[in-house]
Amino acid sequence: MKKTVVAALISMAFGANAANMDDLRISGFGSVGIGKSDNAIGYAGYTDEKLDWEQETLAGLQFDFQVNERAKFVTQIVANSRYDYEPKIEMAYASYDFEAFTARAGKLRLPLFFYSDYTDLGYAYPMIRPSQELYENIVLKGYTGADLLIPIELEDSSILLQPVVGIGTIDEDDSIVGEVKLDKLFGISANWNVDDFTFRGSYFVAESNPSCDFQNSQDPYCQLGAMLDSQDGQFISLGAQYDNGDLLVNVEAADVQLEGQFYDYQSVSGLVGYRINEFTPYVSVSWVETTDNEERENMTTTAIKESMNYERLSYSVGSRWDFAKNMSLKADVTYVDYRDTSGGFQSNVETTANPYIATGNYLEDSSIVYSARLDFVF
């Protein structure tokens, strides 16, 4: 049944490519990923158990219905292997172009980073996956609400402002404490384009509210929800990119703070790639570290505390091969140094007979992940 869903999506998409009616445009994308690690920690979802197809394989369809010259509706559906190929609506919004700006309302992507609008669209970025230390620490991809796209043309450059307001939901599949609502979500992102350079920044605030009944539950993970109950959070990111058609340099950084004991962190990612005909070899470095470890000194569930107090540094070498129109093949080797911490993985925390009590030791100092991915659009 699960694989039938993906096959149906792909079949629909290839068949719909020709069904480009006057007002309805149907497009699609997909990825088939495979990988394996040298140990069982689970970096990027991969372990040493087997060659794994279930982490980065997905298929998606996007429907753009043009109501008139100014108004349109957009819906994007994605079936992701991480969620047992269950089709999910990732975007569903209405858009209207005014003279000076575009207004959108519905389910939208949250503009946190350079690639946030299309993290599922592997063909759109050069690396095999966006930085685990930067992008994957933010499990919130979208929100329900409204935004404005405000372009500002200057003499030698252009600016795009994007104010946002809405409500976010972290799905229970992406959170150890279950579903978490992010209420009172608002903020702004800005892109400044100058020749071959793009600079961007984002600032967002929200209030976290877990759905788990942590006051009555005996589950230690559910009880962690108390750390998130009615807590104000702040997200700040800065980034710069240079792309002259051959050389690509991308640097991004984020600072995330949340009131209470749940961890705050800072992260940085950098990538350099160079296009040589249909090949784009690249190297990247990413780092993340929690910044408020003292807030959890008195936590009694020490295994969870150890997984929340961490640092991690990763190095990647890979290449993209655009071997056919609208298709690319990527290969990557990533070395991850856990910096004498858990690296953010509870699977790396050595415990006593009680699985919630840590010994103070870690199972692995590092991981190496080998992976490849086929990306396509149609």
Q: Residue 90: is its pLDDT beyond 80?
A: yes
Query: Residue 273 belongs to what H/E stretch?
Result: strand 265-274
Instruction: Dump the DSSP string for 188-251.
Output: EEEEEEETTEEEEEEEEEEEEEE-S-TTT---HHHHGGGGGTTEEEEEEEEEEEEESSSEEEEE
Q: What is the mean pLDDT of residues 134-159?
A: 94
Which pLDDT value is given to residue 150?
A: 98
Q: What is the mean pLDDT of residues 281-307?
A: 92
Phi, psi for residue 183 in degrees, rounded to 5 = -85, 165
Q: Residue 151: is its pLDDT beyond 50?
A: yes
Q: Which of helix, strand or coil describes residue 326?
A: coil
Phi, psi for residue 74 in degrees, rounded to 5 = -130, 130
Which pLDDT value is given to residue 3?
A: 46
Q: Residue 17: is its pLDDT beyond 70?
A: no
Chain segment 215-248, per-residue pLDDT in tens: 787 777 777 788 888 999 999 999 999 999 999 9
Residue type, 271: L
pLDDT > 70 in the chain, percent: 94
Chain segment 28-58, per-residue pLDDT in tens: 999 999 999 999 999 999 999 999 999 999 9
Query: Residue 155 belongs to what H/E stretch?
Result: none
Which pLDDT value is given to residue 160?
A: 98
Q: How confident is the model at residue 100 (pLDDT cuts 50, 70, 90)?
A: very high
Q: How confident is the model at residue 178 (pLDDT cuts 50, 70, 90)?
A: confident
How many Cα atoms occupy the beta-carbon half-sphere of 130 within 13 Å? 25
Supply the CATH number for residue 311's domain: 2.40.160.10
Q: Which domain holds residue 286?
A: 2-377
In Å, how far are 211, 270, 370, 377 from 56, measured between CA atoms?
A: 28, 22, 13, 15
Of the listed ranges 9-13, 25-29, 146-150, 259-263, the one predicted with least confidence: 9-13
Q: How confident is the model at residue 136 (pLDDT cuts 50, 70, 90)?
A: confident
Which pLDDT value is given to residue 7?
A: 47
Q: What is the mean pLDDT of residues 59-70?
A: 97
**CA dist., res. 248 & res. 246, Å (int):** 7
Which pLDDT value is given to residue 98?
A: 98
